Structure 1
Amino acid sequence: MVTRGELNSAVGWWASARADFDRAEALAQQLDNTTLSLSVLNARGLLLLEQGHFDAAVRWLDRALPLSRGIDRGRSEAMVVGNLGNAHLGLGHCQLALEHGERGLHLRRQAGDLPGEAWALTQQARVWQALGDFNQAIALCRNAITIGHNTPLSRSYTVAQPLDVLASCLHQLGRTSEAITC
């Protein structure tokens, strides 16, 4: 049900996604299944992020965070704190976004999750970009791209996203010819 809800969310069928998450949440409570509860809470947070409802996303993700700690070598916690960082960035809370992002990056590295590390570096770059520190953002993007080129998973996730942020930062610095080559 959670996966179906995520797919419905991805195509913009948000009412269907919410209904799937409602069913999954009821099942998680009935079964007293913490892993399923975590998955539902995080998915609800992501749905709200996609819709631009950052305050509501923070509330769902804050509920997911305690459930994510101490399992699966930190990957779940890294995912939740990364999403919390994105929600706080959307609210303009850059310091909180950086703190959550740093925690997520640390956990991704600790778990040996290279695609996740590239994603976390890109998210940190977005925060530095929002703060106007384009050189810091560029350095983080370049690190993410290097990792992405050495990772067998989705290039859109590990290379295209940091390239997008990199090009935007280069353009902001007036280095348009370099941005175009991204």
Structure 2
Amino acid sequence: VGPFGRSLFVQDQREPMATTNFKGSPVKLQGELPAVGSTVPNIRFVKDDLSEADLASLRGNVVVLFAMPSVDTGICALETKAFNQKIDGLGAMAVAISEDLPFAMKRFCAAEGIANVVVASDFRYHDMSEKFGVRMLEGPLAGLHARVVFVLDKEGVLRYTQLVPDITQEPDYEAVLDAVKKLL
């Protein structure tokens, strides 16, 4: 909440549809996650070099798009390192997106040797939060992304979604990789 009692971010006025947990306590998300089989909405993001890009520019690739709260949390760091290793040589792209500033993402990638994951910041446009419905509306991490993994085919059609049951857990990597391998 800001200095005048107003929310610092715009909340979707629709009833939240998706729910995850934070340490066992339910956390509502903004809106609905895109439906499997649908063409995903285009989103804009800022890369770690401050250049701008969008999801449409990645068409032609199988993409593992994973939303997370922050690379500065232990589970998000583990998740990014795991996808960096697991995607290597697979023939797909991995994109980590959070509300982190590009500087934090760049520092993390340099320190951890992340070379196979494109890091994308949603801080400027909040497209991922709003168009994919991943923003947490309550709990201690309200305003940040929930932990959700999306697998997109080469045409930008959503083929797999995994809303991780608790923010404090890593995704089921094998299920994600199985979905990716079916598209290659």
The answer to whether the superposition gives a TM-score over 0.5 is no
TM-score (norm 1): 0.26
Indicate the structure with greater helix content.
1
Structure with greater contact order relative to length (CA < 8 Å, sep ≥ 6): 2
Indicate the structure with greater strand content.
2
Larger CA Rg, structure 1 vs 2: 1
TM-score (norm 2): 0.25
